[in-house]
Structure formats: C-alpha cells, structure tokens
Amino acid sequence: MAKVLIKTLSFFLKVFFSFWIANIIFSPISTAQNNDLHFEFYESHTNYIETSIKDLHFKHETISPIIEELKTNAFVKVEQKGTSVEGRSIHLIKVGSGKTKVLLWSQMHGDEPTATLAILDLFRYFSDQDAPHRNQLLRELSIYMVPLLNPDGAERFERNNAQDIDLNRDALQTKSPEAKILKNLIEEVDPDFAFNLHDQHKYYATGNSPYPASFSFLAPALNNTQGLTSTRENSMRLILSLNEFLQKKIPNQVARYKEQYEPNAFGEYCQSKNISTILIEVGSLRGDPEKQQLRKLQYTMLLIAFEQIASRAFETHRLESYYALPENKPGLFELIIRNAAIHIDGRLQVVDIGYKEQKKKTIDNYFYNEGYIEKIGDLSTSFGFDEIDANNFTIEKGKIYPKLIESVGQLNRLNFEQLAVEGYTTILCKSNSLFPLLNPIPFAALVQSDKKHYTISNKEITPLVLKKDGRIKYIAIKGKLYPYEKWLSQIRKQ
Ligand SMILES: [Zn+2]
C-alpha cells in the first residue's frame, strides 16, 4: 500500500515539476520591467510630439525645415540620398552607434502618412538626452530612418510616385529613383532589422470581428513555400512583443496579414537578404479620424521594437502565437442600414445597405472624405462603425430641390435650413465643380444629367429618409446617419 502511495506521489511530483520546468522554458520571461518602460514610452509621446504637423495631408515642404534643423544637432547624421522624380530631396537620418543596425522607411505610398509623423516625433525623442531609455538605445543600436520615401506621391496624396509606379512593387527592377534609393540603402546599411511602414484602409477588421484592425503586421515570406528561417522567426517574435503592448491599449484590434509571396515588394526583398523585416500597417481606430492616437501608438511601437531588439527580449515568444493572431479582413463599413425595404428594379426587397467613404478634393486642394453606398445586399457577416436596424422604418429617397444652381453666388444664397425643413436633401447643380463647396454641410448635390441615376440602388450618394408613422426619424446622407433633429441643427451650424 505504502509503495503504491509513494509511486502515485512521485508520479504527481514528476508531472508537477515537468509542468513547472516547461513553464520556465517556454513562457516569455516576466516582462514586468519592460512593461513599465513600454508604458513610459507611450506616456512620453506628449513631450515629443512634433506639433508643427497636426493633420495627415502634409507635404515635403512641411517636413523639410524639420530635417534641416536636425542638421544642427550633434547626435544625428543627416544625409541626402537622392531626389524623387520631381526633384524633391530624400534624406537618411542616422542616430546611435550600436552594433545592431535597424533601418526604417515611411510613406513609400504617398497617401500613407501616419508613420512619417511618428518618425518626426522620434526625432524629438532622440533630441532629448533625458528621454526614457534613449541613451541605452543609442548605445546598443544604430538606427537609420528615411521619412517620406515618396514625396511626389505625398504632394498629390496618392499611392504611387510621379511615374505612377508602386514603389513597393519595384524592389527588383527599380525603375523609379525612389526605389533605387531604398535598394542602395539596404545594400549600404546592411541592417539586421528593417521596418516597412504603411497605412491600410480603415475598413479592415481583425478576422470576422466588429473590431477595426488598428495595426496589422506581416513577417514577409521568403519564398512561395512560406518557409521559416531564423531571420523570419525573429520578425514574427518581434511582432509578438509589439502585439503584447497593443493588446493592453487597444484589445482585439491587432491583425496579421495573410501570407502571400510578393518577390518585388521590399519586405520580401529584405527578408531574402537575411534582414529580419516587419511590415506595419496602421488602420483605423474609433474616434480617431485624424489618426493622432494611432500616431502615438506607432511612435510607441517603434520605441518598443528598438528596446526589444537591443535587449533581445522578443526571442522568448512562441511562434504559435504569431499564427494565432486574427487575419486582417476587409469586412467593415462606415455605416450599415440593416433590413431596409427598398425598391430595386421596381420590386420591393429587404436588403442591407453598406456605406464607405472616399477621398474628395476641395477647390483649394484640401482633402475630405465623403460617404457613398458601396454595397447593397446581404451584409450579415459585416459590421459598420455605425449601424441601424431599419426593420420598422419606411425608406424613401431624399427629395431634390428643383431649381438649377449655376454659380457659386447662387449656391451661397441658398438657405439650406429652409430647404431641409421643406423636406429637401439634395440640390441640382450645373457642374460638379460646385460640389466641394457643400462639403461641411450634410446636404447632397447632383448634376442634372445624373438625375436619371438618382436611385437608391445605383451605389451613389442618394440620401435616404427613414420614416416611422409618416414622420422623418433619420437622414442617411454622405455615409452618415443623423437623427432628424440633429441633421437640422448640423445644417443650421454651417
Ligand atoms: Zn502601403
């Protein structure tokens, strides 16, 4: 009996110890100290924000003086590496003198500016000798940064360069001067780690969830077979360090890009040169349309990445956790009107109506977003930033004010509040050049020739009026849903 007892006891002890040892070996080292530091990085952003730029549509001329000023700083090396197609300068900024080399570049797509702002903030962080952990980072690492690789694209707020080349598909042939500059840099610096920094559209979700993918990561593949090397494994583990922090700040809003092999993309190119590469895509965050909170998180991400590279702390992560991150999926809409009974081809049908926003330009070259109907049908597997169930509402097209508006003067003389009270949602213009003038007013416009397309189902801007018991309850206009009274007061304000 005693023998059996001892055997049982020793069995349980063995099981207990093997679990204990397995835990020690396989789980990440307690990162409590790092956690504190990571939060300190986050908090420090307030002190180092480059306050001269607050919106996303800055241009080369806006950041040039900031880079010029860096030249007067002893700790930093600024070097012009060439010019864009249209002759705008592209600079490399180096800080630190450590043996591990890190290269990052931003905005190779001209309309993806968030990381450029984060890098400008990093310049201010590195300029302060008392910034948290700054001196350790500069001792351990040499950091090479290229902010705004595609200044001509940024000029027009477009993805491609002035030759209409996508720089991130030009790593092999380098037909663009900008890609040539980057490729030469990769050769010259020969970094251990590289960061390819982008923005993605706001309608990506984490998996099939209602959460936007605020950050999406990819450890680019080396070849078609998705093989693993220690270089790529390091990318994956470093991503997990970033994810660990992000989950505390923005839970469920981190995704992973589906693996595909794009040999002419720079991520894949770097990885093939044995450089651990990370693609970071900034998506959207509710309540942060100008991406200033995302800018802060991106700044924090980069500092955490530097700290983790310097300390090698990321190496303790398990690869399974990388594959466990939800995939980045384009399932979100700006607004979904569910169960809407509308006439399509003369038949009353119950459908979901999904809106997205598109970029528009004002006459003085500013940008604004405007919603349009993107999809009509079954959107039961999608989510909207805003949603309404229209089950108990009747839905009608907004009424068009019949008088043709031919000039800016005529437009300015319109009393939109009066029109709204009379039940109109839409004006008729002679030319669409008048449309941008309406931008801040939640009122729609169309040109006379488009009047025949003024239907709910043509995926255009047709405003919808949601009524209950014969009374207007909501107006859906330019991708936004307004309770009726709020819509009126919004018009009154303009
Ligand atoms: Zn991009």
Domain membership of residue 15 (yes or no) is no
Q: Is 256 in the same domain as 238?
A: yes
pLDDT confidence bin for 235, thresholds 50/70/90: very high
Tens of pLDDT, residue by residue over 259-292, are 888 889 999 999 999 999 999 999 999 999 889 9
Q: Is 382 in the same domain as 461?
A: yes
Tens of pLDDT, residue by residue over 329-388, are 998 999 999 999 988 888 899 999 999 998 887 767 777 888 889 999 999 999 999 999
> Taken in order 30, 303, 286, 322, is the CA torsion positive or negative?
negative
Domain membership of residue 5 (yes or no) is no
Distance 188 CA to ligand 1 centre (A): 24
Distance 159 CA to ligand 1 centre (A): 7
Residue 154 pLDDT > 60: yes
Across 1-5, 146-150, 207-211, 307-311, least confident range: 1-5
Strands 332-344 and 383-389: parallel
Distance 259 CA to ligand 1 centre (A): 16
Distance 35 CA to ligand 1 centre (A): 30
CB-based contact 316:234 (threshold 8 Å): no
Residue 221's domain spans which residues? 33-329
Q: What is the four-CA torsion angle of 478, 483, 484, 487, rounded to 10 degrees?
A: -50
Q: Is 319 in the same domain as 348?
A: no
pLDDT at 457: 66
**Left, alpha or beta for 82 (phi > 0: left; psi -120 to 50: alpha)?**
left
Q: Is 157 in the same domain as 230?
A: yes
For residue 194, report the phi and psi dihedrals to the nearest 5 degrees: -135, 145
Dist. CA 328–CA 361, nearest whole Å: 29
Distance 108 CA to ligand 1 centre (A): 7
Domain membership of residue 219 (yes or no) is yes
Q: What is the DSSP string of 25-40?
A: HHSPPP-HHHHHHHHH
Q: What is the DSSP string of 319-383?
A: HHHHHHSPBEE--EEEEEEEEEEEEETTEEEEEEEEEEEEEEE-TTS-EEEEEEEEEEE--TT-E
Last residue of some domain: 273, 295, 329?
Answer: 329
Domain membership of residue 18 (yes or no) is no
Tens of pLDDT, residue by residue over 433-446, are 888 888 889 999 88
Domain membership of residue 342 (yes or no) is yes
Q: Supply the pTM of this predicted model.
A: 0.87
Dist. CA 272–CA 263, nearest whole Å: 9
What is the CA angle 404-409-415, rounded to 5? 70
For residue 314, report the phi and psi dihedrals to the nearest 5 degrees: -65, -20
Distance 113 CA to ligand 1 centre (A): 10
Distance 199 CA to ligand 1 centre (A): 6
pLDDT confidence bin for 464, thresholds 50/70/90: very high
Distance 268 CA to ligand 1 centre (A): 14
Distance 380 CA to ligand 1 centre (A): 29
Domain membership of residue 11 (yes or no) is no
pLDDT at 459: 58
**Any residues with CB less than 8 A from the CB of 283 and at least 6 apart, and which?**
199, 200, 201, 202, 204, 212, 213, 214, 215, 216, 255, 294
Which whole number is the average pLDDT over 152-176?
A: 96
Domain membership of residue 8 (yes or no) is no
User: HSE on the CB side for 124, CA within 13 Å?
Assistant: 16
Q: Is 413 in the same domain as 352?
A: yes
pLDDT at 21: 45
pLDDT at 460: 67
Residue 17 pLDDT > 70: no
For residue 51, report the phi and psi dihedrals to the nearest 5 degrees: -75, -10
Residue 94 pLDDT > 70: yes
Which whole number is the average pLDDT over 154-168?
A: 96
User: Mean pLDDT, the chain, as a whole number?
Assistant: 90
pLDDT confidence bin for 239, thresholds 50/70/90: very high
Cα separations in angstroms, 21 against 228, 312, 315, 411: 27, 22, 18, 76
Q: Is 354 in the same domain as 391?
A: yes
Task: For residue 252, give the amino acid letter.
Answer: N
Last residue of some domain: 329, 355, 376?
Answer: 329
> Taken in order 80, 82, 87, 93, is the CA torsion positive or negative?
negative
Dist. CA 271–CA 253, nearest whole Å: 26
Indicate the angle between helix axes 32-48 and 230-249, nearest 10 degrees.
70
Distance 332 CA to ligand 1 centre (A): 19
Q: Is 315 in the same domain as 346?
A: no
- Return the closest-CA partner of residue 480 out of 463, 468, 494: 463
Across 3-17, 275-289, 389-403, least confident range: 3-17
- Return the closest-CA partner of residue 282 out of 325, 333, 246: 246
Q: Is 323 in the same domain as 337?
A: no
Residue 13 pLDDT > 80: no
pLDDT at 292: 95
- For the chain, how are helix, strand and coil distributed in percent, rounded to 5? 40, 30, 35
pLDDT at 4: 47
Distance 403 CA to ligand 1 centre (A): 44
Last residue of some domain: 286, 302, 329?
Answer: 329
Q: Is 175 in the same domain as 38?
A: yes
Q: Is 257 in the same domain as 386?
A: no
pLDDT at 226: 63
For residue 34, report the phi and psi dihedrals to the nearest 5 degrees: -65, -40
- CATH code for the domain of 277: 3.40.630.10
Count up the domains in the chain and report the number.
2
Distance 274 CA to ligand 1 centre (A): 22
Q: Is 316 in the same domain as 397?
A: no
Residue 451 pLDDT > 60: yes
pLDDT confidence bin for 10, thresholds 50/70/90: low
Distance 413 CA to ligand 1 centre (A): 43
Distance 220 CA to ligand 1 centre (A): 14
Which whole number is the average pLDDT over 318-338?
A: 95
Indicate the angle between helix axes 114-127 and 292-311, nearest 10 degrees.
60
More confident residue, 21 or 425: 425
List the strands of the sheet with 347-361, edge to edge: 367-377, 347-361, 332-344, 383-389
- Return the closest-CA partner of residue 364 out of 40, 57, 55: 57
Domain membership of residue 217 (yes or no) is yes
pLDDT at 225: 66
Dist. CA 17–CA 99, nearest whole Å: 40
Q: Is 300 in the same domain as 350?
A: no
